Chain A
Amino acid sequence: MSKSLRSSVRALGLGIVAATLFATGALADGHLSLDGKKIGVAVVGTQHFWDREAFNGAIDRVKELGGEVVPVDGGRDNQVHADNHDILLNSDVDAVISILGDGAVEPKFEALKNAGIPVFTVDHLSPHGINNTTSDNYYMGTTIGRYMADAIGGEGKVAIFNAFEGALRICGIRAGLWKYVMQDYPGIEIMQPELAEAFANAPEDARKKTLDLLSANPKGTIDAIHVGCWDQPAIGIVQALEEAGRTEIKVTALDGGPETLEIMAEENSPFVANVAQQPRKIGSTAATNVARHFAGEKLLPQTFVDVKPVNGPEEAKAVYKELGYGDLN
């Protein structure tokens, strides 16, 4: 067999394999439908890229599957978000997709479950939910821990913004595993008390708190600032470091939306590591899971969506492109 013939055969073979995979993939999803179903989609807020993308991802997928959407937005207020579930309960929905939320939503989930309305959560593990779609939070927590430790040469003083470790399980996992990694770096000291960022208007709040932190700790006494569960505060932290001329302090955080990847991609950015999530895919996967549930499939308690670790400006640019946010070069 000539070389060119062999490569043609190989290409044909690959084509068949790809076509088969595509066909089975299509088959696997092809029978799914939310036709005639009314799906409530509750999100804690839509100001942030992550929340908005997960929300829109879920809404678009429900519509694509033929379902009707009842959207409610908590305006970045956990209490309003929780109360919104009462409205969904009152709107005769067939299922609810609930994105984020703290402990205040638990009794609402229970009420929905008791009314026979299945609840599908995003980034919120609940005993009353059918399934939780989320990023691999375990991997996120350990990876960002390793990256941060490397960024400061394995020793130094680190401040952490960690308001939600006790309030949201996903944050408990991410911050908890970050700390687990820190145990193996005896030279790294986590500054006490830990800082607490605000849930709403986080960048500005974190900017002020960082400026206070910098005033209290002169140059050379802080090596890194880490945000335990997300990266909106990191926007304000970087601003504060630039204002104070303290960009030698490394910043690490989690989520990796376009606005934070852009900051990371800047030359000499103090924001050195992140783990990027795929919020739109998370939202749409949750909606697909609703359809799977109605098709009689047994869902696992959690569905994990891949994350992209980001170490340094070059990887920030690459991930920015890979996730379809555009080109930073």
Chain B
Amino acid sequence: MSVNSTIAAGHSATLRRAALVGYLPLAIFVVLLVYLSFTAPNYFSFQSLDLILRQAIPTVVVCLGLSAVVMAGGNDVVSGGIDLSIPATAVLSAAIIADQVTNHGTPIALALAMALIAALLVGAANAVLVVRIGMTPLLATLSSSVAVVGIVKVITSSRRINVDHPAVVWLRDGSIAGVSVGVILTTLIFLIFFFAVHRTRWGMNLQAVGGSRDAAEISGIPTGRFLSQSFVVAAFAGGLASMFVLARGSGSTPGTEENLLLEMVLATFLGAAFSPRRVVTLWGAVLGAVLVTALSIGFKSIGVNVFWTGCIKGALILVVVASASLSLKASARGSAG
């Protein structure tokens, strides 16, 4: 064997290792799901699947938003694209709708319009903070998240607001041909996102910006504009998620954003393990969201203490993010040779 081919074999072994590390989170999830399917009662049933899908809805929608930001900003969690304010935006929009419909008798369509405008404003603020002022997305969106939660407290006086509007009840309980209305609408939202990102010129440019900002700039793509737009799109996803948040809770409840944030981050980056290149994709994010919900439900069904569930979720986030970093590092080393 020549020296060159030995080196090449070494590099491909490194790449293979990189691929294996990248699949680690997925493997852990599969093992957990198999374990749950043997121990949790009725875990593999239509009823169970329906439950998992319905409970995953708000997470799926905010994940779509986060995916758009990561695609435009790049996969690096710290320096790339991230938006931690999407769940808070969803809760803000939900609070606006609840307050308007229940306390002021505003027609629901108008309330929804107001909620979406508020969401877009949050997105615009994030865009200014990151693109114009140049803040790190992580810090910028963490701060805006805190600010948005503050606004929610002002609107709701930190109180729960019940909503029993027929449209919200329909979104919660309705079904068409046996499939939950929420699941159908979420599928539609996914398809629109998918089309926009993968089938339009805008989407291609967005992905190009995330792939390599320098290359995109050289080829004349206005990267700043696409980055800004990704934050607005993400906030819009948060606005859309608000309807599902509202339906699930039969009203707006302070504090809903915390759990949603954890699940969004976990699901989106777990989803990267599904893509051949270990990057965040829409498909991956959706599957990730469903898997995370399936795990949550499974753990509860076998009686795992809720604090342990939190611990396990946190540990899974660590594993997912760590293996993504290791995998990227290893493949960079492998291809650098």
Contact = CB atoms under 8 A, between A and B. Distances in A.
Contact of A104 (B48, B158, B253, B301): B253
A195 to B, nearest CB: 9
Interface residues of B, number: 36
A82 interface: yes
B42 interface: yes
Contact of B157 (A103, A104, A193): A193
A80 interface: yes
Contact of A79 (B158, B259, B301, B307): B259
B264 to A, nearest CB: 15
A75 B173 contact: no
B55 interface: yes
B307 A77 contact: no
B163 to A, nearest CB: 9
Interface string A54-75: 0000000000000000111111
Interface stretch (B24-32, B76-84, B244-252, B275-283): B244-252
Contacts, number: 90
Given A79-B249, A166-B160, A90 B307 contact: no
Contacts of B303: 70-71
A26 to B, nearest CB: 32
Contact of A107 (B41, B48, B55, B172): B172
Contact of B301 (A78, A82, A90, A193): A90
A40 B113 CA distance: 41
B248 A83 contact: yes
Contacts of A71: 303
Contacts of A86: 51, 54-55
A87 B305 contact: no
Contacts of B51: 86-87, 90
A270 B51 CA distance: 49
Interface stretch (A131-139, A196-204, A254-262, A312-320): A196-204
A104 B172 CA distance: 11
Nearest to B47: A90
B249 A92 contact: no
B254 A90 contact: no
Nearest to B258: A77
B306 interface: yes
Nearest to B307: A75
A82 B305 contact: no
Interface residues of A, number: 34
Nearest to A46: B306
Contact of A84 (B47, B254, B300): B300
B232 interface: no
Contacts of B256: 77, 79
Contacts of A90: 41-42, 45, 47-48, 51, 301
Given A80-B259, A199-B254, A103 B158 contact: no
A91 B250 contact: no
B159 A163 contact: yes
B306 A104 contact: no
Given A166-B159, A193-B157, A198-B255, A73 B305 contact: yes
Interface string A164-203: 1011000000000000000000000000010011111000
Nearest to B55: A83
Question: What is the interface of chain B mostly: helix, strand, loop, or mixed?
Answer: helix
Interface string A74-117: 11011110111011001110000000001110110000000000
A106 B250 contact: yes
Contacts of A164: 159-160
A42 B186 CA distance: 29
B107 interface: no
A198 B256 CA distance: 12
B160 A102 contact: yes
A107 B300 contact: no
B259 A199 contact: no
A140 B15 CA distance: 68
Contacts of A104: 248-251, 253
B162 interface: yes
Interface in B30-56: 41-42, 45, 47-48, 51, 54-55
Contacts of A106: 250
B255 A200 contact: yes
Contacts of A80: 259, 306
B297 interface: yes
Contacts of B250: 82, 103-104, 106-107
B306 A92 contact: no
Given A90-B47, A104-B249, A77 B158 contact: no
Given A83-B248, A90-B301, A103 B41 contact: no
Contacts of B300: 72, 84, 87
B297 to A, nearest CB: 6
Given A104-B250, A163-B158, A196-B158, A91 B306 contact: no
A73 B306 contact: yes
Q: In the complex, which of the residues B258, B300, B307 has the most CB atoms of chain A within 10 Å of its own CB atom?
A: B300
Nearest to B172: A107
Contacts of B159: 163-164, 166-167, 196
A103 B301 CA distance: 23
Nearest to A106: B250
Contacts of A107: 169, 172-173, 250
B160 A87 contact: no
25 contacts: A46-B306, A75-B306, A75-B307, A75-B309, A77-B258, A79-B248, A82-B249, A90-B47, A90-B51, A91-B42, A102-B253, A104-B250, A104-B251, A107-B173, A164-B159, A164-B160, A166-B159, A167-B159, A167-B162, A193-B157, A196-B153, A196-B158, A196-B159, A199-B255, A200-B255
Interface of B: 41-42, 45, 47-48, 51, 54-55, 153, 157-160, 162, 169, 172-173, 248-251, 253-256, 258-259, 297, 300-301, 303, 305-307, 309-310
Interface of A: 46, 70-75, 77-80, 82-84, 86-87, 90-92, 102-104, 106-107, 163-164, 166-167, 193, 196-200
